[in-house]
Amino acid sequence: DSFEVQAIRWASQTPDGKHVVFQALGHIWVRNTETGEQKRLTRQDEHFEFYPVISPDGEHVLYTTWHDQELGSVRIARLNGRGTPRTLTNEPGHYAEPAFSADGAQVLFRKFEGGYLLSPLWSMNPGIYHVPADGESEPQHISKSGSMPHFSVDGERVFFSRSTGELGNERMLSSIRLDGEDQRDHLKGAKATQF
């Protein structure tokens, strides 16, 4: 009926240090660091939840979902679990690695192609996207490639990793403006796995 989870993923702490958010057993959990009490972020059982990220104000959690037939989405839920999570993507797809801007007003995520073990449907236009966190407008495609996107401190540029080299075995840290222009390369590492 119950057991102690031995592995958690994507753990992060709220700015005040009072809560930790993590993924385990396909769902996102919120743990109170003072009392040890923990509970699910949502109450749904229709899909799995991945990549939880806490907003800069500590009030919301950004995450992605997955369902084998209906595919995935990018969503925001209140940390306290109240209300219905807001969906930021307008079509099903394969989504990963969401990130907030420093002011919490903008969101980044990566869309990737399916195939092999995952459904190949909804695989057009992979890359990095940004969208307002309030979900009031459509996601904007800003880069055809890259992974692990994150905003610059001022929110004007997006940094991301990409594969380079003859065999694609080197990593490059690059950045691009929110309009998808002015790509710049900053760091390159044959042994780097993440910047």
Task: Give the strand order in the sheet containing 9-13.
Answer: 9-13, 19-24, 27-32, 38-40
Residue 37, CA distances (Å) to 5, 33, 53, 77, 79 in order: 14, 8, 20, 19, 14
| Inter-residue contact 63 to 73 (CB < 8 Å) | no
Which residue is associated with the tokens 């998808």? 180
Q: pLDDT value at position 190?
A: 84
- Give the pLDDT confidence score for residue 47 in this predicted structure: 96
pLDDT of residue 118: 80
Q: What is the predicted pLDDT for the residue at 4?
A: 85
Question: Tell me: the pLDDT tens digits for 135-189?
Answer: 889 999 999 999 999 999 999 999 999 988 777 788 999 999 999 999 999 999 8
- Say if residues 107 and 98 touch (Cβ distance below 8 Å): yes
CA 110 – CA 78 distance, rounded (Å): 22
In the predicted model, is pLDDT for residue 130 greater than 80?
yes
CA 162 to chain centre: 17
Task: Give the pLDDT confidence of 109-119 residue by residue, as tens digits.
Answer: 999 988 777 88
Whole-model pTM: value is: 0.92
Starting at the edge strand that comes first in sequence, how are the strands of the sheet with 60-66 ordered?
Answer: 48-54, 60-66, 74-78, 86-87
| Predicted local confidence at residue 194, as pLDDT | 83
- pLDDT tens track for 10-64: 999 999 999 999 999 999 999 999 999 999 999 999 999 999 999 999 999 999 9
pLDDT confidence band for 79 (50 / 70 / 90): very high
Residue type for position 29: W
